[in-house]
């Protein structure tokens, strides 16, 4: 895993002092993502930068990497992520006459584009199984390709300029170039205040994300984005037993592929079905004893208060699974003071590059990953299983399922409505914005075919499953990537293997809930691997701290913000309405969004053009 960045300007030679300085500044921002090595390449209108976290072929995988064969012009690649089937592709390409100088997956990607991507780059990308984001410069065609994996596991941003484009793994890389402006308009503020990601834009004006499963092609003639993968209706015909067997087969193959690393590896263990099954399979196929890590809070288990979203604490289940599977386990225990530490808050914001709607969940994840990095360089995570197999209450409670909006949206815009100036609330029209995003997402959903298409509930659940995979999961993956890479930790997500996603997405909802519970297919496919208590455990979310000390610290900080007329967010806020909200204890945690917006506007010197 690494950090990439670059600059294309078709009207300049970037090899001069100014171009080199700009590229050096951009590349330096990626140091946390790639602490092991740094490299740059400049040729005419193209400048590419790379920071490396060495995982595979530590000595030979340096980047940027170039390819020149038979006198043909160079292909130049900066790449981040992992291609899990690179060994098979390498063997296949060698049989076609390709010769390799390293044992890295990066070189395999280069040769794949030489062999299969010359006429249409989509043909090369479709051969790759993995999580990746990369930029490929063709010196003959004078064309840049920006490529992102199918589910959007790895981030990639771009910023069109008058004569080309800037790009980077994170916004900070782009903002380090003097051509980029740090500005937020009304659309950006809408995105910042709502929990629904817009696949076409970011909170910063003029900056975009490469959409999952897409390629951005940049030439002198302009910028064009094309799709190479999307979810489709597969016409699923397997019965439930056959489906369970196939899920198990895919999981076993996926986890074996993702155990490949030349550095220490571990798993993230919560004691839930997803992480426990993954950890058990990893332990079965690993040549070494698997390490596992879990997050905990001081006094959390002893003073736990159950709720709809957190019915049971993780701790007892984590210990049971670790003993049952035989992992070398360690708990990372955090306090309220650590979560509210200004240095931790600043580091979390710097990692995110965006105002966050996750609050203390981001801070705890950052601290967890920072601690894990002292022991391991790669971690396997259960992220994606809930979205894929139907693990959330939102997918099972009719009150959520039948909403004419995103099922999980419980008034993400409500806090903004109750804290902002009334005139701004009217101008932003956040309910209208969310409805527009919802209608756009529904228009993408592939229609059911076969007998299931006659069942209205199956049709609705197809929509719900699509929404979770394309509008909810990206936020989870982005959060995981940012918090882990801030400490140079690579987190892999086996449940996001595109073969597994394609297969399970195509199964009828009746299959996914055949035993009357959430995640029926995953439970049946892995029940033999884990303790019965975990098999029977009801879904419990990623833990949020329950210590009253945290709420006290949060209240103090928000009060100080309201008392500061010079705060960056002050022109947006109604102080009286915000104070009234602060007095409503049940809404206290939700003001974290406003606090992170304040920090973002200040630290990134963002100009508001509302």
Q: Active-site positions?
A: 2
Provide the pLDDT confidence category of residue 411 given band limits of 50, 70 and 90: low
Summarize pLDDT for 272-330 with one digit per residue, the tens.
999 999 999 999 999 999 999 999 999 988 889 898 888 999 999 999 999 999 999 99
pLDDT at 73: 63
pLDDT at 535: 97
CA distance 594 to 449: 44
C-beta of residue 321 within 8 angstroms of C-beta of residue 451: no
Q: Is the pLDDT of residue 450 over 90?
A: no
As a whole number, mean pLDDT of residues 89-101 equals 96
pLDDT at 356: 76
CA distance 263 to 55: 6
The alpha carbon dihedral of 446, 449, 452, 457 has a sign of positive
Provide the pLDDT confidence category of residue 547 given band limits of 50, 70 and 90: confident
Which is higher by pLDDT, 525 or 36? 525
pLDDT at 416: 80
pLDDT at 358: 80
Q: Is the pLDDT of residue 412 over 90?
A: no
Indicate the DSSP class of residue 543: P
Summarize pLDDT for 181-218 with one digit per residue, the tens.
999 999 999 999 987 878 888 999 999 999 999 999 99
- Which range has the top average pLDDT, 62-71, 236-245, 255-264? 236-245
CA distance 208 to 225: 11
Phi (first) and psi of residue 62, to 5 degrees: -65, 150
Sheet harboring 490-492: ordered strands across?
328-334, 291-297, 265-268, 378-380, 490-492
Q: Calculate Rg over the CA atoms of the chain.
A: 24
As a whole number, mean pLDDT of residues 438-456 equals 92
Q: Is the pLDDT of residue 490 over 90?
A: yes
Provide the pLDDT confidence category of residue 589 given band limits of 50, 70 and 90: confident
Q: Is 227 exposed, middle or buried (0-12, 13-18, 19+ CB in 10 A)?
A: exposed
pTM listed for this prediction: 0.96
% pLDDT > 90, the chain: 79
pLDDT at 34: 84
**SS in 3 state form for 487-518?**
CCCEEECHHHCHHHHHHHHCCCHHHHCCCCCC
Tokens encoding 168:
């980077």
pLDDT at 582: 76
% pLDDT > 70, the chain: 97
pLDDT at 57: 62
pLDDT at 583: 72
pLDDT at 243: 98
C-beta of residue 428 within 8 angstroms of C-beta of residue 415: no
pLDDT at 319: 97
Q: Is the pLDDT of residue 364 over 80?
A: yes
Provide the pLDDT confidence category of residue 84 given band limits of 50, 70 and 90: very high
3-state secondary structure of 374: coil
Tokens encoding 178:
């003097």
Mean pLDDT of the chain: 93
pLDDT at 138: 96
C-beta of residue 278 within 8 angstroms of C-beta of residue 494: yes
Q: Is the pLDDT of residue 59 over 80?
A: no
Provide the pLDDT confidence category of residue 586 given band limits of 50, 70 and 90: low
Peptide bond into 542 cis (omega under 30): no
Summarize pLDDT for 398-408 with one digit per residue, the tens.
999 999 999 99
pLDDT at 427: 95
């Amino acid at each position: 895993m690494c950090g990439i960045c670059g600059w294309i300007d078709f009207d300049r030679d970037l090899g001069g002092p100014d171009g080199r300085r700009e590229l050096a500044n951009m590349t330096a921002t990626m140091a946390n993502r790639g602490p092991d090595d740094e490299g740059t390449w400049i040729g005419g209108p193209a400048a590419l930068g790379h920071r490396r976290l060495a995982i595979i072929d530590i000595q030979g995988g340096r980047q940027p990497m170039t390819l020149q064969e038979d006198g043909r012009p160079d292909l130049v690649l900066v790449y981040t992520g992992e291609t899990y089937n690179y060994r098979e592709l390498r063997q296949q390409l060698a049989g076609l006459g390709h010769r390799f100088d390293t044992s890295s997956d990066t070189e395999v990607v280069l040769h794949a584009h030489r062999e299969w991507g010359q006429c249409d780059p989509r043909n090369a990308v479709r051969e790759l199984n993995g999580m990746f984001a990369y930029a490929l410069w063709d010196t003959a065609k004078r064309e840049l390709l920006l490529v992102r994996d199918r589910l959007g596991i790895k981030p990639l941003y771009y910023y069109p300029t008058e004569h080309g484009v800037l790009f980077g793994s994170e916004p900070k890389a782009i903002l380090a170039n003097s051509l980029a402006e740090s500005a937020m308009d009304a659309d950006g503020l809408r995105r910042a205040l709502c929990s629904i990601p817009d696949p076409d834009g970011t909170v910063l004006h003029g900056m975009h994300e490469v959409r999952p499963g897409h390629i951005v092609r940049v030439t002198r003639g302009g910028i064009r984005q094309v799709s190479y993968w999307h979810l489709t209706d597969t016409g699923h015909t397997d019965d439930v037993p056959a489906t369970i067997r196939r899920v198990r087969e895919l999981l076993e193959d996926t986890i074996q592929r993702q155990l490949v690393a030349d550095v220490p590896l571990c798993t993230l263990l919560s004691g839930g079905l997803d992480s426990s099954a993954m950890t058990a399979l990893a332990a079965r196929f690993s040549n070494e004893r698997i390490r596992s890590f879990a997050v905990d809070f001081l006094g959390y288990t002893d003073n736990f208060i159950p709720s709809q979203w957190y019915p049971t604490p993780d701790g007892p289940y984590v210990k049971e699974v670790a003993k049952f599977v035989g992992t070398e386990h360690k708990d990372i225990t955090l306090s309220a003071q650590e979560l509210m530490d200004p240095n931790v808050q600043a580091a979390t914001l710097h990692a995110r590059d965006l105002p966050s709607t996750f609050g203390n969940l981001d801070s705890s994840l950052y601290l967890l990953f920072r601690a894990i990095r002292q022991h391991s360089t790669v971690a396997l995570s259960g992220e994606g299983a809930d979205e894929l197999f139907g693990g959330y209450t939102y997918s099972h409670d009719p009150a959520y399922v039948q909403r004419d909006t995103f099922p999980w949206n419980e008034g993400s815009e409500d806090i903004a409505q109750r804290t902002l100036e009334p005139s701004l609330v009217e101008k932003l029209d956040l309910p209208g914005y969310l409805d527009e995003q919802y209608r756009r997402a529904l228009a993408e959903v592939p229609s059911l075919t076969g007998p299931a298409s006659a069942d209205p509930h199956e049709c609705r659940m197809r929509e719900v499953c699509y929404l979770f995979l394309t509008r909810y999961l990206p936020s989870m993956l982005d959060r995981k990537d940012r918090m882990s890479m801030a400490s140079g930790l690579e987190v892999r997500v086996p449940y996001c293997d595109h073969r597994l996603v394609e297969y399970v997405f195509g199964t009828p909802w009746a299959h996914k809930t055949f035993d009357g519970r959430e995640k029926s297919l995953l439970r049946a496919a892995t029940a033999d691997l884990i303790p019965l208590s975990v098999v029977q455990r009801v879904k419990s979310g990623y833990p949020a701290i329950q210590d009253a000390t945290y709420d006290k610290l949060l209240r103090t900080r928000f009060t100080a913000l309201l008392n500061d007329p010079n705060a960056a967010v002050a022109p947006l806020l109604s102080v009286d309405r915000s104070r009234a909200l602060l007095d409503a204890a049940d809404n206290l945690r939700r003001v974290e969004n406003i606090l992170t917006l304040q920090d973002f506007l200040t630290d990134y010197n963002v100009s508001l053009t509302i």
